[in-house]
Structure 1
């Protein structure tokens, strides 16, 4: 209970409130919300946490930048261009950006899909549709309060979690530690 109260307090203070995520995924029956279903014709995969977890532990030669964000989170939107810029440098640097949207199902069609199209996001976007945050948040990082934006950077030799907003310079500097 204390963890939940702390989690909700931090989200309110950071401006990225998770309260909308608690709504049932059945409210939008147009979408299948588990496994590898897709949100629309763009082919955006919709994962429950068990499926998403495989993306958090890939053991190859790449460095992975996993950013947890949502369209309703102003700090998340502010930093997205920096992740896009890093993504453009991915092939040359052997890294991959994956943007994990935490938007609720009722927002996928009305907010998320138009946002991705309007911003022409080139990074891989996936949707995490698992309302049991108390279960999966500590699996991403045991110290994560649940506030977003949050980013996991890892490769086979190093793993680091950031519960913060990035500038391009900060993100680039952190990636330098993973070479």
Structure 2
């Protein structure tokens, strides 16, 4: 009996480690509500792509922030701008290799001229780009974060400083 429990536990753990990450694909209309949630949660929404070197370099900062505030009302969303058909051959292997822990989604909408300005009117469309918001308090960054810059930007919006 004890052996059966051990084997069952090992099987479950192995399945959890090899499970494919859930990476939904949205068009902008489906994705847009993630930019305007009016809850007690502070959202950090980062636009990136697997081919963008500055994006890749800053990804660990987002995961670190998410881990540091995992017990708080903070949500990190990593929005890949890779094409939807790259989900299985590129995006999922990439996030597994990089051990990305934050929620990843793909935003696949060819009408970028329309939706980019809906994210932020000042956005040129270059990535990486990040929106940090809590209710009506919002900041937009069209840049790559280094060192403590992301946390500093987050703390300007985050209402619970202690």
Structure 2 counterpart SS, 1:154:
strand
Q: Secondary structure at the match of 1:165?
A: coil
Shift of 1:158: 0.5
Residue 120 of structure 1 and its aligned partner are, at CA, apart by 1.6
The root-mean-square deviation of aligned C-alpha atoms, in Å, is 1.4
Out of 33, 53, 65, the position equivalent to 2:32 is 53
Divergent runs of 4+, >3 A? none
Stretches of structure 2 that go unaligned for 5 or more consecutive residues are 1-18
TM-score computed with the length of structure 1 as normaliser = 0.74
| Larger of the two Rg values belongs to structure | 2
Question: Deviations for 1:105-141, whole angstroms, at most 9, x for unmatched residues?
Answer: 3322221110011112110001101011001000000
Instruction: Give TM-score scaled by structure 2 length.
Output: 0.82
5 Å matches for 1:91-106? Answer: 91-106=70-85
The corresponding residue for 1:115 is 94
8 Å CA contact 2:84, 2:106 repeated in 1: no
Whole-angstrom CA distance in 2 between matches of 1:99 and 1:76: 10
| Residue of structure 2 equivalent to 1:156 | 135
- 2:63 is aligned with 1:78: no
Q: How many residues align?
A: 140
